[in-house]
Structures are given as structure tokens and as C-alpha cells.
Amino acid sequence: MKKIMGYKRYIIIGAVVLIVFLALIFGLRSCGVSHKSPEGVARSLIKAYANGNQKKIKDCYGAKKDTEESLQKEIDATIRYFDAHNLKDVEIKECDVLSENDKYTYVYVTYDMQLENSQSYPCINTYMTDKEDGRYYILPSSKVTDDMRKQAASDYAKFMTTNTYKNYVKEYETFTKKNPGYEDKIAGKLS
């Protein structure tokens, strides 16, 4: 009887260790950057900017330790922009592909910056992504060609006719009417 009780204890302890181990593995995997899709890496970039996590931001761009100067300036400026809003959190609303070809995928992300005063500041960003070795990365501005910019402008013009964009504009206008001078306040923090 004592042997059976001893085995049960080892089985229970083993099960608990296994559960903790699996929770750690899945927990750590979910804390990283998603390179599985263009949308995943764009979502990861927004979250990383909101948290000011330079390591994850650079990972989204596929940048190594020696980040090129122009990209580092872009990263620093965007982190300052997010910081200027004094966010509590970011809520990603939509993320989808605007266009895709063999060279890049153009995606949009709509999200709300959750501000300290319990208001939501609606935002929209677009990114060019590239696929390398089966993983997606955000293309830095320096790698976006004039042809890509022209195509993006055309794709964005089409996007502006969608309900997603119209809803964003409506929410943005509502926010700015409720908060006159908000953008001037943010611009003042950035200068």
C-alpha cells in the first residue's frame, strides 16, 4: 500500500512539473515576434513600439546588433512618438494585406492607443514586408524603392474606399473633436 501511495505522489509531481514546463514553453513563445505572416510581424512591431522594446523592434526588421543608422533613427523617432502619448496599452483592431507580389507584401494595421485618461486614440499604419528564409520582416524605409512607393500609393488609394478606412477616419475625427489641440500637444512633446 505504501508503495502505491509513493508512486501516486511521483506521478502527481511529474504531472505538475510537466504542466509547468509546457506553460513556460508556450508562454515564452507567445512573448516573441511572430514572423509567420506579414500581418503577424506588423502586429508584433506595433506591440513592440508600444512597449518601447528595441530588441523586438529590431527583430521585426530583421536587424542585427549593428542596426543601420537610418533605421535606428526611424526606430528612435517612433518610440518617442509612442512615448509622447503616455499609453497604457495598444489594442490592435485589424491587420490585413493591401497587396502582395513576389517582392513584398503591403499590409495595414489599425489600432487604438489606450491613453492614461481612458480614451482611445485611433491609429493606422502601413508596412512593406519581405519574406526571407520562410520568415517575414518589415522592410526599413531605406529598402522601399520608388516603384514600391508608387504601387503603395495606388493600393492605399483603393484602401481609402473601404469601410475599414472610413471607420478609422470617423473614429479619428470624433477623437479630435473631443480633444482639440491634442495633436499640437503631442507635436510639442516631440520638438
Is the confidence at residue 157, as pLDDT, over 70? yes
CATH code of the domain containing 137: 3.10.450.100
Q: Is 125 within the bounds of a domain?
A: yes
**Residue 46, domain extent:** 34-190
Q: Is 23 within the bounds of a domain?
A: no
- How confident is the model over 61-107, as pLDDT tens digits? 988 767 788 899 999 999 999 999 999 999 999 999 999 998 899 99
Other C-beta atoms lying within 10 Å of the C-beta of residue 111? 22
Written as nine digits, the cell of 104 is: 513584398
Total domain count, the chain: 1
Nearest partner of 98 among 17, 154, 167, 33, judged by Cα: 154
Is the confidence at residue 15, as pLDDT, over 70? no
Q: Is 133 within the bounds of a domain?
A: yes
Q: Is 56 within the bounds of a domain?
A: yes
Task: Provide the pLDDT confidence category of residue 136 given band limits of 50, 70 and 90.
Answer: very high
Q: Is 5 within the bounds of a domain?
A: no
Residue 88 phi, psi (nearest 5): -95, -35
